[in-house]
Amino acid sequence: MFGALDLDVALSWAEFAVSIALVVRLAVGGLMGRYWLFALYIVGNGSEVLVPALIPYNTNLYFRAFMGFEGLRMILTTLVILDLYSLVFKDLPGISRTAHKFIRYALLAAIAFSVALMSFEQVSRTLFQGFYVFDRAITTSLLFFVLLITAFLTYFPVPLRRNIIFYTVGYAVFFLAKAAGFFLLTTSGFHWVITISVVLDGVSLACLVLWTWKLTPAGELQTVQFGFNWRREDEARVREQLEAINASLLRVAKK
């Protein structure tokens, strides 16, 4: 009988297959040079399916491999989010540089907070539990910046290449699903691990299919505007405000 665990395994392998298809499509379409960090993230994320497939569960090797892949995922996630900010704020370098600094400072603060929290707690933690404390703090910090850039795209009238829109919005949904699943797993005592994993894999698979379908060479040439439909005079006013903020940040950076 085909149960929830079988569905979870099938979705994981489908996610792995579509990840390969996406990377191949980026390479064939000549987009690898621009989205190489994203491609590396997709390869790392998709390869996680190999851990339970090749290594027996509840072994030291499994947990080492799992933590290795999760550690790599955290690093690549940070790099991808920095890349998103660079692409979205390409014409606003002052805002882009400031956002990069805030992201780095937020991650350092999250790590410091995790270390302080564990040092003040009386409960002893295993290596695996300690790893989840770090992972939760970093994921929370990165989630804030993903929500921030999504809110920016939704509200401000900034014209961007169509590929960047699908890249950013798709990643926001993808990362939100991953973060939500992570928080539910760590707060529910892993009682709903299979159900949550099925939902997560389904959302991840949908995002991968969207990227494979929509990230095209033509999308690099077509400029679109995402978000509210502003009146022309309001749109011009908001853009002037953004440019003024950008100029102010550049002046501060030069001091």
Provide the pLDDT for residue 72.
Answer: 85
Provide the pLDDT for residue 239.
Answer: 79
Provide the pLDDT for residue 141.
Answer: 84
Provide the pLDDT for residue 1.
Answer: 44
Q: 215 with 64: CB under 8 angstroms?
A: no
Q: 28 with 21: CB under 8 angstroms?
A: no
Provide the pLDDT for residue 189.
Answer: 57
Provide the pLDDT for residue 126.
Answer: 65
Provide the pLDDT for residue 246.
Answer: 82
DSSP assignment of the chain equals: ---HHHHHHHHHHHHHHHHHHHHHHHHHTT-TTTSHHHHHHHHHHHHTTHHHHHS-TTSHHHHHHHHHHHHHHHHHHHHHHHHHHHHHTTT-HHHHHHHHHHHHHHHHHHHHHHHHHHHH--S---HHHHHHHHHHHHHHHHHHHHHHHHHHHHHS--EEEHHHHHHHHHHHHHHHHHHHHHHHHHHTTTTTHHHHHHHHHHHHHHHHHHHHHH--TGGGT-EEE-S----HHHHHHHHHHHHHHHHHHHHHHH-
Provide the pLDDT for residue 108.
Answer: 83
Q: Would you put residue 37 in left (φ > 0), alpha (ψ -120 to 50) or beta?
A: alpha
- Spans of the chain, pLDDT less than 50: 1, 123
Provide the pLDDT for residue 119.
Answer: 65
Whether the model pTM is above 0.75: yes
The topology under which CATH files domain 4-254 is Rhopdopsin 7-helix transmembrane proteins (1.20.1070)
Provide the pLDDT for residue 131.
Answer: 72
Distance CA 210, CA 240 (A): 33
Side-chain half-sphere exposure of 28, counting CA atoms within 13 A = 9
